[in-house]
């Protein structure tokens, strides 16, 4: 099973909890990808370039992939799911301290294309939102809104802020729980077959 960790704005895979989480996951037998994206104040924000960079580093998504995005990196994952050709549906998408929207004009460039939550719901087998109630950078209400729109499971914590420190056991535990829980349904399996009882021609 592959875990894809996507960093946030003005960050990289060597910052915040990413090194610890990547190392801990590898110790438990997971394959881990940590793409480094042009997502900072020193770069001109260019969504197609960011998506292309992630495509080069991550490639096609597989049915046992779990994508984990921190802060604005979570939004990049959602954009990636909408943009790339998919032949398999990832096991899960986990969004950590993710924004529903931003007000800074520089970052609004990433939000030019409105994301279609109804379509995104079918782009992963499960969505999990992890958000701390004391997050001052991205208020908890953003996590609640994302969970509502994506029909996601909300993992609510307190005291973790914007997840900028080195270790958060809840992240490792949540990923392990996702990985160990058998998924019984593919997207659309619960929908009725309108053609099941039609007579053959």
Asked if residue 169 is part of any domain, the answer here is yes
Per-residue pLDDT, averaged over 112-136, amounts to 81
List Cβ<8 Å contacts ≥24 apart for 136-145: 136/161, 136/162, 137/71, 137/97, 137/161, 137/162, 138/71, 138/97, 138/98, 138/99, 138/162, 141/100, 142/98, 142/99, 142/100, 142/101, 143/95, 143/97, 143/98, 145/100
What pTM, to 2 d.p., does this model score? 0.84
Q: Which of 174, 142, 197, 168 is nearest to 66 (CA)?
A: 174
Q: What is the pLDDT of residue 7?
A: 94
Q: Find the mean pLDDT for residues 31-44.
A: 85
Most confident of 23-27, 59-63, 87-91: 23-27
Residue 200 inside a domain? The answer is no
Is 199 within the bounds of a domain? no
The answer to the question of residue 97 being in a domain is yes
Question: What domain range includes position 91?
Answer: 2-180
pLDDT-based confidence at residue 113 (cuts at 50, 70, 90)? very low
Higher confidence at residue 38 or residue 113? 38
Q: Is the pLDDT of residue 55 over 80?
A: yes
Asked if residue 196 belongs to a domain, the reply is no
Asked if residue 186 is part of any domain, the answer here is: no
The CATH number of the domain holding residue 110 is 3.40.50.1820
Give how many domains the chain has, as a whole number.
1
Predicted confidence at residue 120, as pLDDT, reads 76
Specify if 158 maps to a domain.
yes
Q: Return the pLDDT at 160.
A: 96
pLDDT tens-digit readout, 66-86:
999 999 899 889 888 888 888
* 189 domain residue, yes or no: no
């Amino acid at each position: 099973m592959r875990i894809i960790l996507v960093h946030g704005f003005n960050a990289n895979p060597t910052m915040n909890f990413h090194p610890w989480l990547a190392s801990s996951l590898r110790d438990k037998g997971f394959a881990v990808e940590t793409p480094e994206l042009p997502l900072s104040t020193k770069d001109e924000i260019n969504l197609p370039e960011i998506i292309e960079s992630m495509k080069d580093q991550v490639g096609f998504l597989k049915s046992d992939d779990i994508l984990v995005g921190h802060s604005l990196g979570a939004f990049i994952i959602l954009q990636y799911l909408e943009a790339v050709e998919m032949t398999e549906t990832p096991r899960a998408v986990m969004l950590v301290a993710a924004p529903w929207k931003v007000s800074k004009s520089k970052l609004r460039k990433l939000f030019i294309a409105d994301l279609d939550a109804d379509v995104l719901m079918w782009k992963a087998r499960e969505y999990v939102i992890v958000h701390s109630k004391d997050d001052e950078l991205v208020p908890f209400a953003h996590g609640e809104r994302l969970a509502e729109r994506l029909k996601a499971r909300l993992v609510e914590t307190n005291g973790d802020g914007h997840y900028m420190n080195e270790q958060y056991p809840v992240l490792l535990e949540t990923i392990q729980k996702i990985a160990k829980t058998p998924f019984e349904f593919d997207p659309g399996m619960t929908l009725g077959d309108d053609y099941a009882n039609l007579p053959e021609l």
